[in-house]
A = this chain, B = another copy of it.
Amino acid sequence: MSQVVTPFSAERGLSERHVRILDAAERVFARAGFHAATMNDIAAEAAMSPGNLYRYFSSKDAIIGGISERDRTEVAADFAQLDPSKGGLLDQLEELGRQHMVRKPREKAIIALQIWAEASRTPEMAQICAGFDEVVEQGLGAAVAAAKASGELPSNLDQARFLTALFMMADGFFCRRAVDPNFDAAAGAEALFAAMRGLAQTMLLPPADGQTL
């Protein structure tokens, strides 16, 4: 087994009804904003009664938790597919990036921004975001470590700083895509990938004390 990370969890096995509610909530949040959206709006969008909706999710926060959990499971599964035996890990990371940043509709970026804005003020939502980030950090960290070990990336790459730069770029990508309707997602992603490759060669650890270059 040469996978870089092990799968995050068993398939959550969401019911058709759960999926329908989460999809409806995403559309409502993207349109109305998380704050203004009501459980009634979400029930209407999902074509069910509010009473029925509450049998599945007790609050908007619970729905956000469900959306985040679903995304987290999907991202973790995608990271688990990374496999050095399939080719270069940077190529595979680019493909994973295209899938989540470019091929998803702009609405996903708008929802992410709504959730982050809530999370900036409420510890519960910040906790949900931290849980999602952890999955990405683990997946990306494991991939970078594997690429260093295989020689695809320099062994003296400053991994912590490299990942910080990548995370900032990825978050900024989502911000710009959400805020600017004319943002060119494909060009933005290619700039990010080019930056990833440039930084992988230049963001190196300083030589240890007493060591000469």
Q: What residues of chain A have their CB less than 8 Å away from a CB belonging to chain B?
A: 30-36, 109-110, 113-114, 116-121, 126, 129-130, 133, 158, 161, 164-165, 167-173, 175-176, 178-181, 187-188, 190-192, 194-195, 197-199, 201-203
Contact A168 B164 (CB under 8 A): no
Which of B35, B173, B178, B192 is A116 in contact with, Cβ under 8 Å?
A: B178
| Contact, CB under 8 Å: B203 / A194 | yes
Residues of B within 8 A of A168 (CB): 168-170, 172-173, 175-176, 188, 191-192
Instruction: Please state if B116 and A165 are interface contacts (CB–CB under 8 Å).
Output: no
Complex copy number for this chain: 2
Q: Find A172's partner among B31, B126, B170 (CB 8 Å cutoff).
A: B170
The answer to whether B176 touches A167, judged by C-beta atoms less than 8 angstroms apart, is yes
Is the pair B203, A202 in contact by a Cβ cutoff of 8 Å? no
- Can you identify 15 A-B contacts, CB atoms within 8 angstroms? A109-B120, A114-B117, A116-B175, A116-B179, A117-B117, A120-B178, A164-B191, A165-B169, A165-B191, A165-B192, A165-B194, A168-B168, A171-B172, A172-B175, A194-B203
Further 5 A-B residue pairs, CB within 8 A, beyond A35-B36, A120-B178, A164-B191: A32-B121, A113-B117, A119-B179, A165-B191, A165-B194
